[in-house]
Structure 1
Amino acid sequence: MDGQPKEPRDGRRTRWDEHRRRRREELVTAALRAITAKGAGVGMDEVAAAAGTSKTVLYRHFADKEELYLAVADRVNSRILRELGEAVAASASPRQALSGIIAAYVQLVEADPEVYRFVVSHPFLERPLTSDPVQRISATVADETARTITAHLRVGGARDSSADALAHGLVALIRTAADRWISSPDRVPAATLVSDLTHLAWGGLSTVLAPVPEEVP
């Protein structure tokens, strides 16, 4: 009857939804373990084995391989977002913030290169995505970089209209360098790469972060 309060949602349904959410998270964690152990070319059988279950159970929680891939990519994106925020919060200067952003990305690649390769190589995808998670991760890094650049441009009295373009340019530099670095058999230590990339990026960015001089009439 209209006007009467609705019955509360069935508690069993709520508990079931929470159980499914937790189980999906456990399966994503198992997928990450399988990728680390077997490499970026891991198969669904190996993911199921790492989870101690069967492919049938996997497909109860993920409609297809693409959905599992997207869940793994979302986990990686959440991690990089958290680590970027921590790096920027701990920085006392724009140069330190830039170095922290670069370090967070490089450390993500170094900590588990097979997971990184899995995300960027799309091995589970059989058709193009409407939203590429790799671009989403790049956008996450670029957005944090743009906020850092914008804040320091404004403090210095400089124009900030180009901050977004500069940030995406820096992310392209960082990602390309990290991709090349992780595939090199004789790569330099991560700390060296971070230092070199910071020097390279700061060399150009520092001129933009300087206050805009007054125009001579």
Structure 2
Amino acid sequence: MRPASQDKIAHGGEGRESKPAGEPRDRRDSRWDAHRAQRRQELVDATLAAVGKHGAGVGMEEIAAEAGTSKTVVYRHFADRAELHVAVCNRVASQLLPKLREAIESNAQPRHMVAAAIETYLAFVEADPELYRFVVHPPQPDRPDPLTSLADLVGEQAAAAVSVALQQSGRDVAAAAPWGHGVVGLVRSAADWWLRAERPMLRSELAAHLTELAWSGLSTIGTHPQEEK
């Protein structure tokens, strides 16, 4: 039988007894929640720093050392590596998605919109290849969650933009999700190759090639259905 303290850690507990449902929370609970949220953000910061030092394959020991603590403490705040990975993805997404949104919304021409979004994504890849590798390759692929990986979050953003374009053209928006995620998959696969091949071409050249390929399929978005007949 495991000690009670280990059971609490394994289940994400903090060594405190939970209050019965419906019982009012006191100020100590609120302060603890704030402390726990702050500590989680600090551990995400430490993970980003550890990835910068040790690469995408960084271990939990190295993350804990960067945070100046132990793995046991890390697991008090994150149930496992997969949950920590989700938190890091959310942090990166909170920085990348506004840039993608700005790139899309700052261009009136659909082709320029696609080009700007692809360029923005590739700029993120080039700026920190190890962080990119860390966030797009989850530690437990058998536990998928539609909105926890960066690729899925970016795919949702792309799908939303495609949906608006389809609506404005009077077309069926059912294609928005597969097209949006498809373009992201295209760019991600090419970005993975680009890094593995040690960047055999300039980022701008890769972006131009991907824009040309993606636009070959997306160029019909601005066409009214009757014009295709």
User: Structures share a fold, TM > 0.5?
Assistant: yes
Q: Mark the CA change 1:211 to 1:115 in structure 2 (over 3 Å): closer, same or farther.
A: same
Conserved? CA contact 2:46–2:67, under 8 Å: yes
Conserved? CA contact 1:102–1:194, under 8 Å: yes
Q: 1:140 aligns to what?
A: 153
Q: 2:67 aligns to what?
A: 51
Conserved? CA contact 2:147–2:153, under 8 Å: no
Conserved? CA contact 2:159–2:179, under 8 Å: yes
Please state if 1:16 is matched with 2:32. Answer: yes
Conserved? CA contact 2:165–2:221, under 8 Å: no
Q: How many residues align?
A: 208
Q: 1:80 aligns to what?
A: 96
Q: Could you list the runs of 5+ residues in structure 1 that have no partner in the other structure?
A: 1-5
CA distance in 2, matches of 1:86, 1:215: 31
Q: Mark the CA change 1:33 to 1:27 in structure 2 (over 3 Å): closer, same or farther.
A: same
Measured after TM superposition, the shift of residue 10 of structure 1 is 1.4
Alignment of 1:184-199 (within 5 A): 184-199=197-212
- Normalising by structure 1, what TM-score? 0.82
- Percent identical among aligned pairs is 45
Q: 2:125 aligns to what?
A: 109
Please state if 1:36 is matched with 2:52. Answer: yes
Which digits, 9 at most, give the CA deviation of each residue in 1:45-75, with x for residues without a partner? Answer: 2111211222232222222223222222222
CA distance in 2, matches of 1:13, 1:163: 44
- Normalising by structure 2, what TM-score? 0.78
Q: 2:145 aligns to what?
A: 131
3-state SS of 2:94 partner: helix
3-state SS of 2:145 partner: coil
Which digits, 9 at most, give the CA deviation of each residue in 1:61-92, with x for residues without a partner? Answer: 22222322222222233333222222222222
Q: 1:165 aligns to what?
A: 178
Measured after TM superposition, the shift of residue 24 of structure 1 is 0.6
Which digits, 9 at most, give the CA deviation of each residue in 1:95-135, with x for residues without a partner? Answer: 22212221232122222211221223334x4x72142667x
CA distance in 2, matches of 1:131, 1:215: 37
Which digits, 9 at most, give the CA deviation of each residue in 1:122-181, with x for residues without a partner? Answer: 34x4x72142667x4333222222222232233334444323222222122111111111
Q: Report the aligned-residue RMSD.
A: 2.6
The AA in structure 1 aligned to 2:168 is V
Of 151, 162, 166, the residue aligned with 1:153 is: 166
